[in-house]
Structure 1
Amino acid sequence: MNYPSPPESLDELLSRARAMAGLSLGQLALGLGWDVPPDLKRDKGWIGQLIEQELGATAGSRPEQDFLHLGVELKTIPIDRTGKPLETTYVCVAPLMDTGGLTWQQSLVKHKLERVLWIPVEGERDIPLAQRRIGSPILWQPDEAELALLRQDWEEILEFIALGKVSSLTARHGEVLQLRPKAANAAAKTECILEDGSVGLTNPRGFYLKIPFTHAILRRAFAL
């Protein structure tokens, strides 16, 4: 199969993304020679992987931007009929050990969100997966107010982690950014700091953008 090569410029990336708008996932899959699963129960990341392939993303599962040479992260976002995101948006894995020297400026969250190409996709479950259409792309960079909110949440969450209070963090913490379990199953464990300073085990955690934050990005872009 001749998969698309990485785009050489931001203009080329945006051109590819605009060319997808209006296509169904089934049409995109057919062009790449991919099979469409019956649903996403066992293939949760399938839509993102399909769109990554079509656009020529290079990062895979590495902790870097999807288009590192262009400074762009790719995020597919499932939306309902009104354009509202249907779920929170995963950003990256959260560090649960050795957080002492970490700063916002060098954080993976900031790196990943410096410039994001959002690809909205119809996500309502009554629409068969193959028939769900891809929306118009949005190239977004956080403004000063958004960066300040992200930084504030990140620093507060990291303080909880450093104090050994990761188990008391819930999805309600944070105004725009939240910490949630991130693992294939509940049995997965990783090391973390406990309140007495010793090392314990807990479920891996990930940073997620809350729905109102991403909804505001989409509303502004489409003037909803």
Structure 2
Amino acid sequence: MLDANPDPPQTLDQLFDRAASLAGYRFADLAQQAQLVMPADLRRDKGWVGQLIERYLGASAGSTPQQDFPELGVELKTLPIDELGNPLETTFVCSAPLMATAGLSWLNSNVRNKLQCVLWLPIDGRRQVPLAERVVGSAFLWRPNQLEDAQLQADWEEHMDKISLGEVETISAHHGVYLQLRPKAANGRVLTDAVGADGQPIKALPRGFYLKKDFTRRLLQRAFAEPQD
């Protein structure tokens, strides 16, 4: 029987064992055991699956900017996949600062902090499958290697340079190799302060950093590659 309300994990091994034990469980079974109401779909409850998984893993950070498991230095990311194991959407990392960017560097950025060590949990994201019938996949841990870290840094610096130069409105989802910057708001009426092209304050849509699908697809392929004979 799974523990639907555990204490925060004390070790990385304990956290991974909890995540691994969820593999194969239907969302309906997990929700029932945790006594959580299951939505009919995720159109208005996009974060519901993540909250359900966090419940079983003992996450304590909630919606704060720190990692989901700050004592262990680990971030949790659920990753909806299709029947072929390909990511169905980009992965949100964190919100992007659009003001007061002086003094920010890759080393002290929230993106780097969030991506130092990630516990990935693939989940069935097929929209033709009822939410209750979808299942949890096999967890894997990822730390960026030297090349990945360097490219993530280059992407972050490209985006932040444009923000600080007042060019936030020129950034599209095509910029960046691994990391993209794009609007993050429930609707177009939600605006925040930003810097304009001439250094003047403007109103702009909030932005968020996202990992591109091509990048997370490579992580999945590497994690579950069949061993060579």
Q: Which one of 23, 26, 48 corresponds to residue 24 of structure 1?
A: 26
Listed as ranges, the matches of 1:190-201 within 5 Å are 190-201=192-203
Tell me the SS of whatever aligns to 1:104.
Answer: coil
Whole-angstrom CA distance in 1 between matches of 2:6 and 2:35: 12
User: Which residue of structure 1 aligns with residue 114 of structure 2?
Assistant: 112
1:11, CA displacement in angstroms?
Answer: 1.1
Could you list the runs of 4 or more consecutive aligned residues of structure 1 that deviate by over 6 angstroms after TM superposition? none
Extract unaligned runs of 5+ from structure 1: none
Unaligned runs of 5+ in 2: none
Equivalent position of 1:95 in the other structure: 97
Q: Which amino acid aligns with 1:187?
A: R
Name the aligned partner's letter for residue 163 of structure 2: I
Q: TM-score, normalised by structure 2?
A: 0.96
Equivalence for 2:180: 178
Write out per-residue CA displacement over residues 2-36 of structure 1, whole angstroms, 9 at most, x where no aligned residue.
72221111111111101101111111111100111
* CA distance in 2: counterparts of 1:163 and 1:217, whole angstroms: 33
Equivalent position SS for 2:150: helix
Q: Distance in 1 between matches of 2:66 and 2:184?
A: 17
Distance 1:165 1:145 in 2: 27
The amino acid that maps onto 2:202 is: G
Identity %: 54
Matched with 1:58 is: 60
SS at match of 1:106: coil
- Alignment partner, residue 160 of structure 1: 162
Quick one: which amino acid aligns to residue 55 of structure 1? Answer: L
Distance 2:32 2:116 in 1: 32
Match for residue 189 of structure 2?
A: 187
Counterpart Cα distance in 2 of 1:71 and 1:137: 17
Match in the other structure for 1:146? 148
Aligned length: 224
Once residues 212 and 174 of structure 1 are traced to their aligned partners in structure 2, the CA distance between those partners, rounded to angstroms, is 12
Following the alignment from structure 1 to structure 2, what is the Cα–Cα distance between the partners of residues 10 and 26? 27
**TM-score, reference length from structure 1:** 0.98
